[in-house]
Amino acid sequence: MLNYQIHKKITDIKWVNIFSPWERQRAYFAVLVWFALIYPFCCLCQLAPFVLFFTGQWIFLAFYAVWYYYDKDTPKRGGYRDNWFRRLSLHKWFAQYFPIKLHKTVELDENQNYLFGYHPHGILGVGAWSCFGFDGCNVSQIFKGIRFSICTLPGNFTAMFRREILLSIGLIESSKESIEYVLNSEEKGRAVVIVVGGAAEALEAHPGKHNLTLATRKGFVREALKTGAHLVPVYAFGENDIYKQIDNPEGSMLRKMQEWGKKKMGISLPLIYGRGYFQMALGLLPINTSVNVVVGAPIPVTKDANPSKETVDEIHRKYMEQLSDLFEEHKERFGVSKETQLIFQ
């Protein structure tokens, strides 16, 4: 009886079809490359200076140190202009794996600058990366004349080699100085993308949940007012579904440990699982479920170098209302039940 149960569990596992069409195989390959860049390569980049130093590669380390000093302000100055890396076909294959699709509801004026608020954060924000970072969803064709820059933590630009890859995608620092540099530049048609919920919202990223850490987050609204950039709400249906997260309700021991880690290191540590390399049951690769990124209509903002609290609160309230309307309008279209509500925390 026991042998029968074990055999049944093994045969119930859905294995990867190694003879699937080429389009599917290349999408799977792109996710493997992406996974390697996110985890193993990131760790190697952190250790690279020590490896080079203790293996006697001082000349190479010295050359890189000179380059790093010369290029140290680039993350605060709009990143690299020629984002060659983001145009690779590999990124389109990555988007096809889920698939990730970009939907626009209105045209954007290329003579205006914008500040996009992306929701929800999810575990890794793959919709934001694929749509506005990698150009895997043809954003350059969908929003012609708009140049996108995604914000990320300044600490992500400290590891050698990895910082150059991030800059080649078009990422910039999530600092006031960096955001204002881009949106106050003479060049028009710039769009800064901020994943507003951050590390706190990642802990709420459970399949089927739509909880946003937004009620008290107003810094991005203040930056929009200071630069005159129009605010654009963006909602990604399916972003929370690509990974499953171990239950961590408020007040639980696990949640307390995660909150402590976030406070000390600035990053949350959600315990997640997805699918494996050769089977669909368990692993660290993302689950291939659809992610639909819907870009809402911009909220006009009048430039104010020193906005009052009342003005910030008013625009922030309007932003939440418009984001909620965007969610309500499209939720059933993308598989969310009519009864489900968007929750602001």
- Predicted local distance difference test score (pLDDT) of residue 9: 43
- Predicted local distance difference test score (pLDDT) of residue 260: 86
- Give the whole-angstrom CA distance, residue 232 versus residue 131: 15
Residues linked to residue 233 through DSSP beta bridges, in sequence order? 117
CA 171 to chain centroid: 11
CA count, 13 A, side-chain hemisphere, 283: 17
- Predicted local distance difference test score (pLDDT) of residue 112: 96
* Axis-axis angle for helices 58-71, 40-54 (nearest 10): 120
Residue 20, classified by CB atoms within 10 Å of its CB into exposed (0-12), middle (13-18) or buried (19+), is exposed
CA count, 13 A, side-chain hemisphere, 208: 5
* Axis-axis angle for helices 162-169, 40-54 (nearest 10): 140
Return the structure tokens found at 245: 């997260």
Q: Is 50 exceeded by the pLDDT of residue 285?
A: yes
What number is the average pLDDT over the span 224-242?
A: 97
- Predicted local distance difference test score (pLDDT) of residue 131: 94
User: Global pTM?
Assistant: 0.91
Name residue 154's amino acid. P
The answer to which of 6-10, 14-18, 116-120, 318-322 has the lowest mean pLDDT is 6-10
Name residue 270's amino acid. P
What number is the average pLDDT over the span 117-122?
A: 96
- Predicted local distance difference test score (pLDDT) of residue 10: 47
Q: Is 50 exceeded by the pLDDT of residue 8?
A: no
Domains for the chain: give ranges and CATH numbers: 77-336 (3.40.1130)
- Predicted local distance difference test score (pLDDT) of residue 221: 97
71-112 pLDDT, tens digit each: 999 999 988 877 788 888 999 999 999 999 999 999 999 999
Longest dimension (CA), the chain: 74
25-58 pLDDT, tens digit each: 899 899 988 887 777 777 788 888 888 888 888 8
Alpha carbon of 306 to those of 112, 194, 312, 318: distances in Å? 20, 21, 10, 19
Return the higher-pLDDT residue of 58 and 195.
195
Alpha carbon of 148 to those of 126, 289, 302: distances in Å? 15, 25, 21
DSSP symbols for 23-87: HHHHHHHHHHHHHHHHTHHHHHHHHHHHHHHHTT-HHHHHHHHHHHHHHTTGGGTT--S---GGG
3-state secondary structure of 318: helix
CA 314 to chain centroid: 27
Return the structure tokens found at 337: 């039940």
What number is the average pLDDT over the span 308-319?
A: 97
